Chain A
């Protein structure tokens, strides 16, 4: 059978995945703290092709061939989104620009170290606890307060304080009366410390985070540590971090994925007509 037919089919599937990812980015332009995704395509492993039946049955090597393509991974750009002022006192945004000694990070948040390793910039996240009691990390800071006083994300996950316990506001004190200090403690308008300090986690390798939906990330690979205060991390009250989706790039990528899909479709059609010739015209006795 013609190998290229399957190559083109795998191209169709891969471009479909790419299109799906871009659509998901477009769907989350308005989601606070959303981090853009991108699809990394990869060719199949190299195969060694050889010809048999020549030179007294000794196989003859032709060369390598990497026939097909697949969507290998969905990478998340954990870069800072723009800050938008809302004046809602239960909106919080993280501004994070953590420095690592001896490295200068580029626009995409990565740097190449002296020995050639690619290092991604560490990022800071709110630490939340879901209803199963597991830790999750999020940049979406549109928080709300339950009637019991728990500080939660918009989907109901508890926001943790530096004591690793869900934050509970003191009874009778609303979030409107609380101000966030530069060291992330909540103090009342009268200046009394409530003893609540937001737990901001620093994750050295953001690629170890897996998106889970509802703005949450699960840490699969690597460790998280509470930020100490020396890092360039700031939390602002009354602001939200807008989605970091690049709209212009998204619409261009959308068109590119569609056209690449179309090109693959054409290739399938060409193979089809080749096969038609093989089946119906070669060897026809007229």
Chain B
């Protein structure tokens, strides 16, 4: 079999995957808190055609054997967790994180948590009639309540929410009364590679990874330069000009691989026509 054809096919598949990832980034260039993804390539397994001792001729530079690779593959997705720019919206339920941290949200009734940088929160009314702070998809934001237990931020009727830089939330009314509602919980991705991007702009701990080691709770302070900014949203950290440049590069690489494919096809045709 013509192995050029297999190699070209393998590489076209992985270039396609990278192109898909670029398309995903571009599509999310306006998604609040979106983090850019990039593909990590490695060369595919090599085969060594063994050569007998007699091949050890004068002038040979490498050890015996003829080495052949089989193209490339995508071995991983690297997420770029760098800070996106903050955009002022003036909406009281919009929050942005400054620094390396994630919001924790509860995704099901069993208490499974996921993490997000998307701070476009809203007040949702649940079955009990409480006004709960949730993400735009309706997942409650996890907070540490004033009594130290884990819970959610419930805003009393007639009060407005006020969030401080350290994540503590107060409810204030027009009369100036203030009630402490708790502190929005922030975690730091200590092992970012153990987090996978899932739907609804969330990150979840990858299967088989230990959540206790992957993320750690952080307390925003001046030393770790983490803060919550109310009334701001973090824009996507996708840089369109970089994405477009990458798209051109991958497209050209794909084109070249396609050229290699058609060239190896011509070779097979020549072999078929040996006896014309």
Contact = CB atoms under 8 A, between A and B. Distances in A.
Interface residues of A, number: 72
B53 to A, nearest CB: 14
Contacts, number: 211
Given A144-B76, A146-B194, A174-B192, A27 B274 contact: no
Given A28-B43, A154-B40, A20 B63 contact: no
Contacts of A29: 253, 256
A207 B69 contact: no
Interface in A20-57: 20-24, 26-32, 34, 37, 40, 42, 45
B69 A213 contact: yes
B24 interface: no
B81 interface: yes
A224 interface: no
Majority-rule SS of A interface residues: mixed
Given A19-B263, A73-B66, A207-B62, A142 B209 contact: no
Interface stretch (A99-107, A126-134, A194-202, A265-273): A265-273
B264 A19 contact: yes
Given A24-B69, A24-B70, A214-B75, A145 B63 contact: no
Interface stretch (A60-68, A179-187, A229-237, A251-259): A251-259
Interface stretch (B127-135, B152-160, B265-273): B265-273
Given A22-B260, A147-B214, A176-B100, A220 B63 contact: yes
Contacts of B264: 19, 23
A169 B275 CA distance: 64
Contacts of B70: 24, 213
Contacts of A154: 40, 42, 75-76
Contacts of B257: 23, 26-27
A24 B3 CA distance: 10
Contact of B191 (A17, A140, A149): A149
Interface in B47-76: 48, 55, 57, 60-63, 65-72, 75-76
A86 B38 CA distance: 10
B46 interface: yes
Interface in B248-266: 249-250, 252-253, 256-257, 259-260, 263-264, 266
Interface residues of B, number: 73
Given A23-B264, A37-B67, A87-B82, A254 B259 contact: yes
B263 A258 contact: yes
A16 to B, nearest CB: 7
Majority-rule SS of B interface residues: mixed
Given A73-B66, A221-B63, A254-B263, A142 B78 contact: yes
A155 B15 CA distance: 18
Given A23-B260, A210-B67, A30 B250 contact: yes
B193 interface: yes
B200 interface: no
B45 interface: yes
A243 to B, nearest CB: 9
A76 B66 CA distance: 12
Counting from the closest, the 5 A-B pairs by CB-CB distance are: A27-B11, A147-B209, A213-B45, A27-B71, A144-B193
Interface of A: 12, 16-17, 19-24, 26-32, 34, 37, 40, 42, 45, 71-76, 86-88, 90-91, 120, 140, 142, 144-149, 154-155, 171-177, 207-208, 210-215, 220-221, 247, 250-251, 254-255, 258, 261-262, 265, 268-269, 272
15 contacts: A17-B68, A20-B68, A28-B69, A30-B18, A30-B72, A73-B62, A74-B67, A120-B61, A145-B194, A146-B209, A154-B42, A213-B46, A213-B70, A261-B267, A268-B274
